[in-house]
Chains A and B, each alone.
Chain A
Amino acid sequence: MSNASPGSLESVVIVGASSSLARAMAACFAAGDHALVLAGRDTAELEVIAQDLRVRYARPCRVLHFDALDYGSHPGFVAECTAALGAPPDGAVVCFGMLPVQEEAQEDFTVAGRCLDTNYTGAMSVLERFAGVFEARGSGFIAAVSSVAGDRGRKSNYHYGAAKAALNAFLGGLQNRLHARGVSVTTVKPGFLDTKMTWGLVLPALLVTDPERAAAIAVRGILKRRSIVYVPGYWRLIMLVIRHIPGVIFKRLSL
């Protein structure tokens, strides 16, 4: 059952699958009858997550090694996914990301550089490879977990925000390119999630979403081929307001 070939199931590759949001998104895809490839650096941990998904959902779930910063490996990665699934995947979702301590990114170029290399270049590099395959085939879906932080630079996290803004622009362009070929591209923009990233931060409790709920919203949006999914939806309104604060006021705010 759990090791059966994917057969007629739709399949999705989750890249950077060990975060709690990624795990929950993988669960939503599995519950929605998808075969899975979980990819990331910590394959031992991913294997535990894969075991869990197999027990809970009885869907095929394979683990592959992936390093966002090892760009040279990315072209071969798509082939590995195809080999694992027996066919090219129907969808690819990038979930990896790196939130640096803002002060460290300001002071240390290597930290700022790694932030951009991971959040933007790594995502761009691997998604272009999937895009090529999906474009040629004329079907598929692509998604990446970005952040509301990319909607406007703020002093508390603008290095992270800048990298995510680059990712947003990339995904927008990719969508524009692939739409005619029947390939959807979704930008997922979560607000505060109750994950390791935010554990211990002082945040307004009402604005923090647990990863299971966030994943359900994100995956629903991806499968409905939405362009941009705010998670949860009210962040669209919050960011609308934040984006429209005039610069003359914004520069004085502490956000």
Chain B
Amino acid sequence: MDEPCKAMALAGWGRYKPAACHVYRPERRDALLSLLDGGAPGPVLARGLGRSYGDAAVNRTGSVLDMTRLNRMRSFDPETGELECEPGVSLSDIIAVFQPRGWFPAVVPGTHFITVGGAIAHDVHGKNHHRDGSFSSFVDSIDLWTPALGVVACSPTENADIFWATVGGAGLTGVILSVRLRLRRVESAYVLADYERCANIDAVLEAFDTTDENYTYSVAWVDCLATADSLGRSVLMRGNPALPNEVPPGHAGKPLRTPRRLNATVPFDFPGFVLNPLSIRAFNETFYAMSRPAKGKDVDYEKYFFPLDRVLHWNRMYGKRGFVQYQATFPPEGRAGLRAMLERCSIARRASFLAVLKKFGEAGKGMLSHPMRGYTLTLDIANAPGLVPFLGELDRILLDHGGRLYLAKDTVAAPATIAAMYPRLEEFRAVLHRVDPESRLNSDLARRTGIGLPARETHDV
């Protein structure tokens, strides 16, 4: 039977300039395969839960394949923690099933509303990157459908180049059919967190450099509006997994149990004036003031890892015009760039309250994986007049200091900018030549940034 198609406007989580797309949502494996074998017209792109911020999961030319119904778990080995599943399985699914059994995804980003396929396509990182690396460190193997080679089994040892191109490859090497990933044992649902205030950027970087190794998880919230001596003042939130005897008294004996809570939701688009420099400053002041230094505080995993997931549709706070998330990673020697970017932000007063700073560990092997040794700063910036030139200024600072953008977040960067930031781009394209020489896979992100093969080789519908 023909798969039904739905015309819909798609954007990333930032809701920046939605594009009309043709979307298929196969519910069976053979339906997906027949779509890939020509049933879906034009260049195709797999999409998960749409949590990448920019246009990585948008494909206005051709077809989008919504993978969320292909979310079957296939097997689980309680000896090794290896889970085999389809790519549409979400991290929230995995957590719901396995957290009560004492297992947890080894790497989680700031939201659990993402699919395993999306986590691989962007090789996502979490608060433990300095210790454990990114998501791909825990992926044992992938079954990948490719236009030129059919279904390819790839892993760090088998078809390794395809594996490392797929990891972080933004869905351009193929469509993932199945994944084997290793979960991690956890003994409780809690993190023992230490909260520290750092008066400025130097203090927080000093803390990262000297004491991050004492913590499995480390992240700092940064007040981007603070200036002068307070530039980059931060609240450090670092922690380690809590042992069963370290959980709050009410949960003793049931350390894997989490407190029940209701999620809030943002039911409609906020009008544009709600988020303004004044309201953001007030929020930041309040947050800083309320974040009292604390040692060994029990925080359940939801609150520690996914604070924003408790507010459904929080992206509506930015109103109809949406926002962009800008994630910039500076190498260790690029601290001056980080400082310059914070200065620029504090003057422009564009960045909003969710600025996050983290120190990365060593880069992984993904050709286009984002994380590399250094410091990563993440800003939410509302879509307002002058946004693009402002982002251009930030890009300039980043380039001047050897830094890079994150494709899962990027919304407007130009091809030359991305090319300068990802030195292994040619290696990636060499794999594309083998697996997809005619660009059957494509995305708005790939067309905008030119990370795919040159356009003359693509065949549009």
Contact = CB atoms under 8 A, between A and B. Distances in A.
Interface of A: 18-20, 42, 44-45, 48-49, 51-52, 55-56, 195-196, 199-201
B73 interface: yes
A199 B28 CA distance: 14
Nearest to B101: A58
B27 A55 contact: no
B97 interface: yes
B69 interface: yes
B25 A51 contact: no
B249 interface: no
Interface bracket on B: 10 to 19
A123 to B, nearest CB: 20
Contact of A45 (B3, B29, B75): B29
Given A48-B74, A196-B25, A55 B69 contact: no
B73 A45 contact: no
A52 B72 contact: yes
Query: Which are the 5 A-B pairs with shortest beta-carbon distances?
Result: A52-B72, A55-B73, A200-B4, A200-B6, A199-B4
Contacts of A199: 4-6, 25
B96 to A, nearest CB: 9
Interface of B: 3-7, 25, 27-30, 69, 72-76, 83, 86, 97
B83 to A, nearest CB: 8
Contact of A55 (B3, B28, B29, B74): B74
A51 B74 contact: yes
B75 A55 contact: yes
A51 B72 contact: yes
Nearest to B71: A52
B73 A196 contact: no
Contacts of A42: 28, 30
A45 B28 contact: yes
A20 B74 contact: no
A18 B72 CA distance: 12
17 contacts: A18-B28, A20-B69, A42-B28, A44-B29, A45-B30, A48-B29, A48-B74, A48-B86, A49-B72, A52-B72, A56-B73, A56-B97, A195-B27, A199-B4, A200-B4, A200-B5, A201-B4
A96 B94 CA distance: 29
A195 B7 CA distance: 15
A52 B25 contact: no
Given A51-B72, A200-B5, 16 more contacts: A42-B28, A44-B29, A45-B28, A45-B30, A48-B29, A48-B72, A48-B74, A52-B72, A55-B76, A55-B83, A56-B73, A195-B27, A196-B25, A196-B27, A199-B5, A200-B4
B255 to A, nearest CB: 21
Contacts of B29: 44-45, 48
Determine which residue in A195, A199, A201 has the highest number of CB atoms from chain B within 10 A of its CB, and name it. A199
A29 B72 CA distance: 17
B184 to A, nearest CB: 17
A13 B97 CA distance: 24
A52 B73 contact: yes
A200 B6 CA distance: 4
A92 B76 CA distance: 29
A226 to B, nearest CB: 28
Contact of B73 (A44, A51, A195): A51
A48 B5 CA distance: 24
A217 B104 CA distance: 30
Contacts of B76: 55
A115 to B, nearest CB: 14
A23 B30 CA distance: 16
A55 B75 CA distance: 6
Contacts of A52: 72-74
A196 B4 CA distance: 7
A55 B30 contact: no
B26 to A, nearest CB: 8
A49 B73 CA distance: 8
Nearest to A20: B27
Nearest to A45: B28
Contacts of B27: 19-20, 195-196
Given A42-B28, A45-B28, A51 B4 contact: no
Contacts of B7: 200
B434 to A, nearest CB: 29
Contacts of A18: 28
Contacts of A56: 73, 97
B243 to A, nearest CB: 26
Nearest to B93: A56
Contacts of A20: 27, 69
Contacts of B83: 55
A45 B72 CA distance: 10
B28 A51 contact: no
Nearest to A42: B28
Nearest to B31: A196
Contacts of B3: 196
Contacts of A201: 4
A18 B28 CA distance: 8
